[in-house]
Amino acid sequence: MGSTAYGDPQERVEVKRAVWFKTTASGKRIWPGRKYVLVKTLFDAMGRPPIHNLSWDRIYTPNEYLVYELTKDSKKKTLIGQEFTGDPRASLGG
């Protein structure tokens, strides 16, 4: 897989077909023959690789992966220097 300018360099995403039953990260079952999304995390937020394998693997249904992609950027905090630039009311203490 080549490098691209888009996407998260921490993760690799593969769309596969289940050969046997799979269980997703949320506990849903994927039946054989159905598509699923395999997300391989290559290193964590601190830059450390996994200890036992080459990556941490998570399995999502296509709909769960869509929700994951839409919500993962909203979970990141935008920092300028050391100042959090989120909700201005949070810094007022009230």
pLDDT along the chain (94 residues), means of 10: 55 91 90 92 79 86 90 60 58 55
Sorted by sequence, the CB contacts under 8 Å of residue 42 that are 6+ apart come out as 9, 10, 11, 12, 49, 54, 55
Residue 17: the pLDDT is 94
Residue 30: the pLDDT is 93
CATH code reported for the domain at 11-92? 3.30.1740
What tokens does 33 get? 């023959």
Residue 77: the pLDDT is 52
Residue 93: the pLDDT is 56
Residue 71: the pLDDT is 86
Residue 2: the pLDDT is 44
Taking the C-alpha atoms of 42, 46, 47 and 53 in order, what is their torsion angle to the nearest 10 degrees? -40
